Amino acid sequence: MSEQDERLPLAETATDGLKIVIVGGFGVGKTTMVRSVSEIRPLSTEETMTQAGIGVDHTRGVQGKTTTTVAFDFGRISLDEQLVLYLFGAPGQERFWFLWDSLFAGTLGAVVLVDARRLAESWYAIDRLEHHGTPFIVARNNFGSPKHSLDDVRAALDLSDEVPLVDCDARDRDSSKQVLISLVDHLYTLSKVREGAS
C-alpha cells in the first residue's frame, strides 16, 4: 500500500478548516491533482462514461478518456496541528456545472486548471469565479512540451496581470503542492492589499 492509499485520521488537535476548489474544463486533470496532493485516499465520484453521453458530452481533445467526475473529488492536507486544507475538485462537464455554485460557497480561493490545447474550455470557470468574487490563480497542466509561452496563455485567457499564472504537472505531488502554495501566496497578498486600503 502506498503512502497516498493510507487512511490518515484527522488529528484531534485540528480546529480550523480551509476550503479550496479546483475547477476547469473536462479532462484537464482536476481529479488527478486532488489525488496527487491529498494526504488521504481521496473521495472520488468518477464514473464510467457511457453511450448515453454521446452528443451531450464534448470529448474533443480527450477522446481516450473513459471516466468522468459526476459530483466532486475531495482530498485533505493537514497544514499543521490545527489547520486543515480541504480540496474540492469540481466536475468539468457542462451538464454538471450547476454544482459549481454550491462548491464555491465558503471557499477561500480556487485553482483554474487549464489544458493549453483547449483553452476555450477554461473561460466558463474564470467567468464564474469572477462573478462570485472568488480569488483564483490559473495553472497550466502540461500535457507534453508546451507549445506556447505563459504570456501567450495569459493573453488568450485575457487574464489581468494580478492573476498568477503558473505551470504544473498535476500527476506530480510536489508540482501540485507548488500550485497550492502559489494560491495561498496570492490570497495572502490580496489580504495585505485589503488591510492597507482599510
Among the residue ranges 40-44, 87-91, 114-118, 134-138, the one predicted with the least confidence is: 40-44
**What contacts 108, CB < 8 A, 6 or more positions away?**
18, 19, 20, 135, 187
| pLDDT on residue 70 | 47
- Confidence band, pLDDT 50/70/90 cuts, at residue 134: very high
- Confidence band, pLDDT 50/70/90 cuts, at residue 66: low
Q: Tell which residue, 33, 35, 30, has the closest CA to residue 70.
A: 30
| pLDDT on residue 184 | 92
Tell me whether strands 46-48 and 67-69 are parallel, antiparallel or unpaired: antiparallel
Q: What percent of the chain has pLDDT over 90?
A: 35
Calculate mean pLDDT across residues 167-186: 95
Calculate mean pLDDT across residues 77-105: 76
Full-prediction pTM beyond 0.85? no
- Please give the grid coordinates belonging to residue 192: 495585505
- Alpha carbon distance, N-terminus to C-terminus of the chain: 51
Candidate ranges 6-10, 63-67, 122-126; pick with highest mean pLDDT: 122-126
Check if the beta carbon of residue 139 is closer than 8 Å to that of residue 24.
Answer: no
